[in-house]
Amino acid sequence: MTPIIHLEGLTKRYRVGPDTIPALVDVSCEVFPGEFVAISGPSGSGKSTLLNLLGLLDRADTGRYLLDGRDVAAAGDDELTLLRNRKLGFVFQNSPMLPRLTAMENVAVPLVYRGESPRAAAAEAERQLARVGLGAVAGHRPGQLSGGQLQRVALARALVGRPKLVLADEPTASLDLATAGEMMALLIDLNRAAGTALVLITHDPEDAARADRQLVLEAGRLRAGPVPAAR
């Protein structure tokens, strides 16, 4: 089986004044279709840098990143935009929404950018909102929704283009305990049902323990984490 993520010796450095600071050092790993991988680590360990590289928002200095078999180092900016739209879905801690658009319109945006007709995009957006339990508020604007509802809208938007990989960055951190549990249950259920690979960046050991595999970043180096309990 071809991995959706293949990293070989990925290194990323940042210049701070006269100094060069290593953010990632010789990172290698693979993630396969349908797999749920949790990545944890202390603040400043390189988690955000790794997420930016995986999400094609930044480029590594050295090393190799194959996304669904495509070497992204050889891709130009336009192709990277296309790959993000067709291969990836994103759920952030506070996923930004366009305030003047309804929940349905926010979810439909990736499909509109892809060139699908407004009618087809709206129909698929409504289907995904119903899938995450928000069919009744499809016409509401972001200011009318709770934090938990906004995260569900973000999840629907991440899934609307049927991505191969969902990248979730602390998606439950700003939610209360009950809503956070519901959000994690949704992510896991959709990961299982759709066969979409899920990479979760988290500080929560309980969320990490629900993954198929745990990885830990420390000072920019990636290592295997605790063996998760059987789901």
Read off the pLDDT of residues 96-115 as tens digits, 9 standing for 90 and up. 899 999 999 999 999 999 99
The predicted structure's pLDDT at residue 19: 83
Cβ proximity of 175 and 163 under 8 Å: no
Q: Report the SS3 class of residue 198.
A: strand
Share of the chain above pLDDT 70, in %: 98
Residue 39 pLDDT > 80: yes
Quote the crossing angle between the two packed helices 177-194 and 147-159, to the nearest 10°.
10
Angle at the Cα of 89 (from 38 to 185), degrees rounded to 5?
Answer: 50
Top mean pLDDT of 85-94, 118-127, 165-174 is at 118-127
pTM: 0.90
The predicted structure's pLDDT at residue 142: 95
230 vs 197, higher pLDDT: 197
| Residues in Cβ contact with 19 at an 8 Å cutoff, skipping those fewer than 6 apart | none
Cβ proximity of 145 and 153 under 8 Å: yes
Q: What is the CA radius of gyration of the chain?
A: 18
Residue 228 pLDDT > 70: no
- Region 178-184: mean pLDDT is 86
- pLDDT, the chain, mean: 91
The predicted structure's pLDDT at residue 38: 96
Cβ proximity of 84 and 55 under 8 Å: yes
225 vs 65, higher pLDDT: 65
The predicted structure's pLDDT at residue 102: 97
The predicted structure's pLDDT at residue 227: 65
The predicted structure's pLDDT at residue 230: 53
- Residue listed under structure tokens 């003047």: 100
The predicted structure's pLDDT at residue 229: 58
Angle at the Cα of 86 (from 80 to 87), degrees rounded to 5?
Answer: 80
Angle at the Cα of 224 (from 159 to 5), degrees rounded to 5?
Answer: 35
